[in-house]
């Protein structure tokens, strides 16, 4: 079974460390994440690579297969999942390792899940970006890494319509902010209300210029929390700047400069 988890998680802690040979150590870090998930997600984590059946028998009732949440207040389990790709805040971080799992039952269907994500050889801008969102909610995507699939994805990207690539996006974040804000002032806007976010114009200009219509992209660009970025995305959808999310959650930019 392959891992495919898209959720909102709180970034609780970042632990810095070094790995590799002593004469040429490389920076690495561990992220501690906490998210509210359904019981099915626990199944996915236990049974990746067809492992974890023994644990599944322990935490699920033999008769109806439902979680023993009324009897379990919290549970930790030793499980390591290698070769996971983490996508968050506009960054793609392959080769991650998940471990240190624990969950606390909230009711009969949901639980707070805590785990660590070890990131090796991160890009140079990853740490300061993540540090900006420490103790905040961020959107994360965890996928089982597949060599053939990743190679095909990169090949497809090379032939796709040019967009603002992540490494360019980092530079643009600093250099083009003023320009985007100026552009945004000339764009058509929806109804203005007292509760309209003061960053809406900046968000609108950024989305149109960069062709990136995601909560995490706006969150990272404007250095704001997840909930505020989500409200901005919903407003842009109402204005007709972006589409509603498709079956896979992807939105597309409709407006042009």
Q: What is the pLDDT of residue 39?
A: 75
Q: Scan for tokens 């079956």, then name that residue.
A: 247
Q: What does the pLDDT read at residue 222?
A: 87
Per-residue burial over 23-60, b if 16 or more Cβ lie within 10 Å, else e, is eeeebbbbbbbbbebebebbbbbbebeeebeebeeebb
**Tell me, what's the pLDDT at 32?**
96
Instruction: Map out the domains of the chain as residue ranges.
Output: 4-154, 161-239
Give the pLDDT of residue 58.
58
Predicted confidence at residue 41, as pLDDT, reads 80
Q: What pLDDT, on the 0 to 100 scale, is given for residue 14?
A: 93
- What are phi and psi for residue 114, nearest 5 degrees? -120, 140
213: closest CA among 175, 251, 256, 244? 251
Q: Which backbone phi and psi does 132 adopt, to 5 degrees?
A: -65, -20
The per-residue pLDDT for 56 is 59
Provide the whole-model pTM. Answer: 0.61
Given a contact cutoff of 8 angstroms between Cβ atoms, the answer to whether 63 and 76 are in contact is: no
Q: What stretches in the chain show pLDDT beneath 50?
A: 147-177, 180-181, 183-194
CATH class of 161-239: mainly alpha
At 150 the pLDDT is 42
What whole-number distance in Å separates Cα of residue 40 and Cα of residue 49? 16
- Residue-wise pLDDT tens digits, 58-92: 566 656 666 666 566 677 877 788 999 999 998 99
Rounded to a whole number of angstroms, the CA Rg of the chain reads 20
């Amino acid at each position: 079974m392959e891992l495919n988890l898209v959720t909102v998680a709180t970034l609780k802690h970042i632990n810095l460390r070094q790995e590799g040979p002593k004469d040429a150590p490389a920076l690495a870090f561990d992220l501690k994440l906490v998210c509210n998930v359904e019981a099915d997600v626990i199944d996915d984590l236990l049974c990746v690579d067809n492992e974890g059946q023994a644990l599944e028998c322990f935490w699920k009732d033999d008769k109806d297969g439902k979680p023993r949440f009324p009897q379990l207040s919290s549970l930790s389990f030793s499980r390591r999942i290698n070769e996971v790709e983490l996508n968050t805040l506009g960054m793609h971080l392959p080769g991650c390792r998940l471990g240190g799992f624990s969950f606390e039952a909230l009711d009969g269907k949901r639980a707070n899940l805590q785990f660590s994500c070890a990131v090796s050889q991160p890009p140079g801008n990853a740490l300061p970006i993540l540090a900006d969102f420490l103790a905040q909610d961020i959107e994360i995507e965890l996928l089982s890494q597949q060599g053939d699939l990743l190679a095909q994805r990169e090949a497809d990207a090379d032939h796709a319509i040019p967009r603002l690539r992540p490494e360019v996006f980092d530079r643009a974040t600093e250099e083009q902010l003023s320009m985007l804000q100026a552009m945004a002032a000339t764009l058509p806007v929806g109804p203005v209300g007292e509760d309209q976010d003061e960053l809406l114009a900046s968000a609108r200009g950024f989305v149109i210029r960069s062709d990136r219509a995601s909560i995490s992209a706006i969150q990272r660009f404007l250095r704001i929390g997840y909930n505020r970025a989500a409200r901005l995305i919903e407003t842009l959808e109402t204005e007709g700047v972006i589409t509603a999310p498709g079956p896979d959650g992807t939105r597309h930019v409709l407006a042009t400069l």
